[in-house]
Structure 1
Amino acid sequence: MPSFSALRSTALRLNHPSSFSHLQTSSCRLFHVKAPITGLIARQTPRSSHAAASYPLLSLHQWRSYADSVTIKVPPMAESISEGTLKQWLKEVGEQVEQDEEIATIETDKIDVAVNAPQAGILKELLVEADTTVTVGQDLATLEPGEGAPKPAKEETKKEESAPSPPPKKTEESKPAEKAPQPKKVAEKPKAETSPPPTTHSAPAADGIGNRGEQRVKMNRMRLRTGERLKQSQNTAASLTTFNEVDMSAVMEMRSLYKNVVLEKTGVKLGFVSFFTKACILAMKDVPVVNASIEGPNGGDTIVYRDYVDVSIAVATEKGLVTPVIRNAETLDLVGIDKAISELGEKARHGKITLEDLAGGTFTISNGGVFGSLMGTPIINLPQSAVLGLHATKQRPVVVNGKIEIRPMMYLALTYDHRLLDGREAVTFLVKVKEYIEDPRRMLLP
């Protein structure tokens, strides 16, 4: 049978550089196909059954050259992100993939980026191993295009199982059928946030002390990047923290009275963070420098004041801390703020957060109280100038109108950049927040 190179040479001699035109050989007929030679698809039709038997390749309906394979590359991620770590492959070589189906996950400093198949086909080769650093535009895998392969006939199998059939006779011939091996289950792929457990090296216990094993796990890119930014904040900002305490009685009473009504009408659960967010926005009207930031070379020489408030809400995930942003929070009411917090929190916890959700932010609120923290000093999220830390609400004895009463009290912590805010502005802002929380009706006043 003539080789492909011989057929190509014949086509070139016939002045058909981009297509074959009714070339006849002793074994097959190549029909005219309008396609470049490098990506030619030729249909072979055996002239006789004898020819088909002589050439096994003639039993194939079609063949493709190597140029038909599609190279899957690292997709563009963001202007500030040029590389990431290939966390895992979701498909293996030889598996059928559909168009836009996710085949791999790339972990970046901020988010996970999905790699999708550009078209349906069969995965031919994986060019990069898991846990390898990849850059935008790098080749990841090759895909052989084609129609979606028929899925395993699970439904047909179920139908056959559900159809009534006479019980098999208990004979020696039927015993092997009864004990036929079940189809092997495909091994479950590791979850996006997990990796194969590291090897544990344990030394024999001495004098009954117990196991002294150690584990070493490589930090993910998000946690590494978060650590770098926090350390950069400590090295750049002149951080100082001021504290106050707030009586949560009024907010808790208001939430208790109206949370069911709000849930029935809007489907949103009324929380406490929305009250603090609204209180901070109103307090910024009196102390706008809290919503400002420093920009410029050599640490900054320009103050940027803003007419809008983009509030970053700290969300703890298994991979690390992220701070999705509520845009133009000053235009939202309590229910709108709670709805935005709920949606962003769900996206962050399920790994669906995007770079657009994390970009920007002019002020941060961190609620460590959900984990039971009584007091702490949050770190400023640069280039912002302040961050408010919320803590656990505890029943404590306090003096109210000259009498000792038990009230639900919370400590507030405001960490601020002393290069931009003086103590007077920082303390005034925190006292304003305290007043709005202790009397929520003030939020309705002009």
Structure 2
Amino acid sequence: MNALRSAAHFMTSTGVKIISGLIVIKLMASELGPDGFGLLGQFMTFVAITTMLAGGGITNGVIRSLASNQINTPEGKSWLSAAFTLTTGISVLVGVACISLAHPLSGILLKDNYAYLFISLALVQAVVAYGNLVVAEASSRGDSAFYAKINIHGTLLATCAFAILVTNFGFQGAAFGLVLMPALPGVIALHHALWYRREMLHSWKWKLDRYRTQRLLSFSAATVVGATSIPVAHLVIREALGSDLGWSVVGHWQGVVKISDVYMQFVGVLLINYAMPRFAAAIDHRRALNELAKAMAFLLGAGIIGLAVIYTFRDLTIRLVFSDTFLPMSTLFSAQFAGDIFRTIAASISFFFMGRGHVLLSIAYEFLQGPILIILFFFLQDSAGAHAPVYAHLASNAILAATMGFILLIWFRRSTR
């Protein structure tokens, strides 16, 4: 019953995020058109990278460390202090970098002077970072209701704020709304901690701890690589595709990527907050593999059904979520969705290895995604044209899924001898 209740919480909060994401996409598509949507995709990627790296991207490490060392123990307090110290230091560094590079980044990504957006992002990422610590602590003790409440309330407020900004201020409003959206769940999480989790905040102390810092940074490395590998590859592909075929084509590809992101967000939430703590807590490898099998069966079953429905009604989906001007993207769905299924398999195995403490394997997987995608895109660009990105997505994830499956088989054989 607890497992079903937790799954229901994660599914509900993710469902709200999915609906919110679709509303945001619809507003952007209707207000900005394919050209504006494609151009703003560059900034969306940068915001996603920055917020994922907020505080050093140590959320997974905090969840795993606190899963066996709750904060009411000296060991748990030490882990949380190390996490707070690392989060603070990295937030300052990222904030200074965003402010220092605001003007050049504005010209490169938005083709105009919107430096204030990057200065705002410098402040927002610190709020996101500290909010992540609160949510990670809750996830480590299985408090899925808290996770759901924070994300649902934050997502609803963020969606309302974005709608007001984009309808009243157009492109600039949309860009600022994208900066603001990740911060609101963090604000709510911090407010909750201040009123109801004071004992956790008492462990937020500046304390240099070499061993724990290094351990958390090993998980951070996986997050950093994962947060940059695919997004950086998309930046490269957008520039090449925009220069070759125009920003409308980029907007069409960006549209199908955003629908794909909705599904992959669901996968990521369940793997990080539900499955990985169970991978880590399993007392032996066979039980851990049983948890992996259950997680993959659920994710693949739900994914295949959901993506099949969207594909069947793809033209209707495009009209509802985007507009008629985005209908050419319907030919991109099949390859993108097939690639998403392979990506789910590979990501599930990667989080399994992370949960069992084999972080280097997860880092290698996250890193390889981007370079393989870029290589395959340029290999296919001349022959496939506008379809090159989705064909590269399918091929790269099929290769990675097969590779991760083979590594899992070898690992299991060696660990059970």
Normalising by structure 1, we get a TM-score of: 0.22
- Pick the structure with more strand per residue: 1
Normalising by structure 2, we get a TM-score of: 0.23
Larger radius of gyration: 1
